[in-house]
Amino acid sequence: MKPKSKKTAPKNVGSFAASVEPALRRAAKVARKTARMYGTRLRFWKDGKVVSEKP
């Protein structure tokens, strides 16, 4: 029986994370704008808990 090999992260993970961050920031900005427009609260994780705040 062959031993299970450990999966390693690809070498370009840093570049992937760097390219995803601007998209996440844009999405958060749009979410804040939409919540403000409709008067709803934003829900997000903060210190391991779900928090609900007005934008």
Could you give the count of Cα atoms lying within 13 Å of 24 in the half-sphere of its Cβ? 6
pLDDT digits (tens, 9 = 90+) for 27-42: 999 999 999 999 999 9
Question: What percentage of the chain carries pLDDT values higher than 90?
Answer: 62
The Cα–Cα gap between 30 and 34 comes to 6
Quote the pTM value.
Answer: 0.62
CA distance 54 to 30: 14
Give me Rg for the CA atoms of the chain.
18
Question: Residue ranges of the domains in the chain?
Answer: 13-53
For residue range 1-55, what is the model confidence (pLDDT) as tens digits?
A: 566 666 665 566 678 888 899 999 999 999 999 999 999 999 999 999 999 998 8
